[in-house]
Structures are given as structure tokens and as C-alpha cells.
Amino acid sequence: MFLNLAFLLILLTPVYSSAQLDNDSSTPEEVVQKFCQLDADGMRLRGDTWRQSILPLVTWVEEAGDVIFIIDRFKVGKAKVNGDKATVPVDYVTIGSTNFIQFSNPSPKWLNPYPYQLVKKKGVWKIDGPISAPHVHFKIAIDSLRTLQKAESARKAALEAIIQQINNAKKQLHK
């Protein structure tokens, strides 16, 4: 009887994801740091990983896009908080972008630092915008392109050209 009661209590106990628990007491900078790291790790590239890892940190529902920004690294700045709103700047070292058809070098029009806007609802900070294309670390972007090469053998050479352009841009970045 005791084991059945204990089992029932476990079943009735609310289950929270680690992202939800961690986000409950996070500062705006911590929320943006988590978001940027997960984004760099490619978590916005697939719906199943987005829902689990990114959704607890943002107010929007992700829509599939056809462009990703390819980054070398990022640095989260200090938040400016005004009541239940905050702005957190992020400096991205961007290598370029791709739509998986071609590679583009960084544009001087891209915002840097990128100002993430947050809102606090029910004691939890969430990123409210602006919504942008994923900012993916170059190694993850290359891995994604290699996976795409296997799935789309007809585009193998074109995708390899994009990979080479990413590698060349990365080398230029560190000269």
C-alpha cells in the first residue's frame, strides 16, 4: 500500500524541465547567455530541440527559416533593466550567413551589439525579441552542411563549396 501511494505521489508531482527551473531565478544576462549558447549549439535548427531548450527562454513560437548566421563566438553584455523590461546587448563575431544554397560574407548593416529585449512575466525573464535567424557556431554549421550533403547527394559539391567558404572566412577572421 505504501509503495502504491509513493508511486501515485510521484506521478502527481509536477515535472519541470531543467530550463524552466533554471530560468525561474535567472537574471536577464543569464537568460540571454543560455539562449545564445543553445542557439550557437544549433538548438534552433530542429523543432524537437527548439521546443525543449529554447521555448522556455523566449516569448515567441519559432518559424522555420532559410538563413542562418554563422558565428565564431559571442559575448553577452550588461543588462539595462527598467521595471519588467530589460535590454541585453550581445556582441557576435560573425563569419557570414548561408541559406544552404550560397554563403554570404557579413554585412556592415548587421547590428552589433545585437540588442535582445526581455520581459518579466510572473517573475520569469524571457526574450521578447527581436526574432532573428539562428546564430550558429561555425563547427555546428559545417556539421549541418555535412549532414545535408548525405541527404542531398545531388547538391554535395555545392554544399562543399559553402563549407570551404566558411572555412576561408574563418581563416580571414583570425589574420
Q: What is the pLDDT of residues 99-141, one digit of tens each?
A: 999 999 987 777 689 999 999 999 999 999 998 899 999 999 9
Annotate 153-170 with DSSP letters as a single string: GGGHHHHHHHHHHHHHHH
Number of H helices, E strands in the chain: 6, 7
Q: What share of the chain is helix, strand, coil (3-state, %, to 5)?
A: 45, 25, 30
Q: What is the pLDDT of residues 93-104, one digit of tens each?
A: 999 999 999 999
Instruction: Indicate the pTM of the whole model.
Output: 0.83
**How many other CB atoms are found less than 10 A from the CB of residue 17?**
13
Q: From residue 99, give the alpha-carbon distance in Å to each of 7, 64, 68, 163.
A: 50, 12, 7, 12
The list of the chain residues with pLDDT below 50 reads 1-23
